[in-house]
């Protein structure tokens, strides 16, 4: 899989994409991640990529031409399955969408900034508009990092068996059950006996019950 991220703030993505699981996926050849600095497509020597909005109002809008030129150049080199735009007014990202996206070949993620992008880019190029939640970030870069991380870790082979994505929260429509490690007792709190029993069927049943209970209490909307 190849993910191209178009951004005016590439430095914001350096950290999240160069560590941990995403880095491992890239190093092992499961994913390629490329950053395009939108300022390389600026209209003038001042690096202009945004302008005031027609009709007045606070906040700058990313202009059509730099974005269109950046996307056209990428599309001239390969075809893309989706062009995702990160925006608070998009569909809210979830595990099901991450699963679907992890099966795709090439993706572009276009990061919004300031007041957003000219609507005509959304009309002409964007195939999916994604929000990571009902709050507003300064730009779409952190959203792009979150979307990329949640997709890349699902590419078959990226996670080892012991980190399998199948037992993650949301994969079976439930939150994950509580987990414990050594010591067996900490400040008077004991690891549930069943987890020490070695009885796999009972452990599986307990985990399922706990997952249902936790989901009922915290996220009944998922049930």
DSSP character at residue 79: -
Kindly determine how many residues on this chain lie close enough to bind ligand ADE according to the rule CB under 6 A.
12
Question: Which residue's Cβ has the minimum distance to ligand ADE?
Answer: 143
Q: Does 143 bind ligand ADE (CB under 6 A)?
A: yes
d(CA 105, CA 31): 10
Task: Report in angstroms how near the CB of residue 210 gets to ligand ADE at its nearest.
Answer: 31
Q: Does 145 bind ligand ADE (CB under 6 A)?
A: no
Could you tell me whether strands 189-190 and 185-186 are parallel, antiparallel, or unpaired per DSSP bridges? antiparallel
Draw the binding track, 85-124, toward ligand ADE (x: CB under 6 A; -: no contact): -xxx-----------------------x------------
Hey, what are 177's tokens? Answer: 């059950």
Buried b (16+ CB within 10 A) or exposed e, 7-22: bbbbebbeebbeeeeb
Task: Report in angstroms how near the CB of residue 114 gets to ligand ADE at its nearest.
Answer: 10
Q: Does 135 bind ligand ADE (CB under 6 A)?
A: yes
Draw the binding track, 28-67, toward ligand ADE (x: CB under 6 A; -: no contact): ----------------------------------------
Of 105 and 133, nearer to ligand ADE (C-beta) is 133
Residue keyed to tokens 């906040």: 59
61, 115 Cβ separation under 8 angstroms: yes
Of 133 and 192, nearer to ligand ADE (C-beta) is 133
Of 132 and 159, nearer to ligand ADE (C-beta) is 132
d(CA 41, CA 100): 31
d(CA 209, CA 223): 13
Hey, what are 217's tokens? Answer: 């209490």
Q: Does 192 bind ligand ADE (CB under 6 A)?
A: no
d(CA 98, CA 149): 9
Q: Where are the beta strands (DSSP E) in 45-119?
A: 50-52, 60-62, 82-92, 106-111
Single residue of 48, 73, 120, 133 touching ligand ADE by CB under 6 A: 133
Q: Where along the sequence are the contacts to ligand ADE (CB under 6 A)? A: 86-88, 112, 131-133, 135-137, 140, 143
């Amino acid at each position: 899989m190849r993910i191209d991220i178009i951004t005016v703030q590439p430095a914001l993505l350096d950290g999240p994409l160069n560590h941990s699981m995403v880095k491992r996926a890239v190093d092992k050849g499961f994913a390629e991640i490329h950053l395009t600095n939108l300022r390389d497509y600026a209209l003038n020597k001042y690096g202009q990529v945004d302008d005031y909005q027609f009709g007045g109002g606070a906040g700058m809008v990313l202009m059509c031409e730099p974005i269109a030129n950046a996307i056209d150049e990428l599309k001239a080199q390969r075809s893309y399955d989706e062009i995702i735009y990160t925006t608070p007014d998009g569909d809210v990202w979830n595990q099901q969408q991450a699963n679907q996206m992890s099966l795709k070949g090439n993706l572009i993620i276009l990061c919004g900034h300031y007041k957003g992008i000219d609507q005509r880019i959304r009309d002409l190029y964007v195939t999916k508009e994604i929000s990571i939640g009902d709050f507003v970030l300064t730009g779409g870069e952190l959203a792009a990092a979150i979307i990329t991380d949640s997709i890349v870790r699902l590419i078959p082979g990226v996670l080892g068996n012991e980190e399998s994505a199948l037992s993650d929260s949301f994969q079976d429509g439930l939150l994950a059950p509580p987990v414990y490690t050594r010591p067996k007792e900490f400040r008077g709190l004991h690891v549930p006996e069943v987890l020490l029993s070695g009885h796999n069927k009972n452990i599986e049943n307990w985990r399922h019950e706990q997952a249902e209970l936790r989901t009922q209490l915290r996220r009944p909307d998922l049930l």
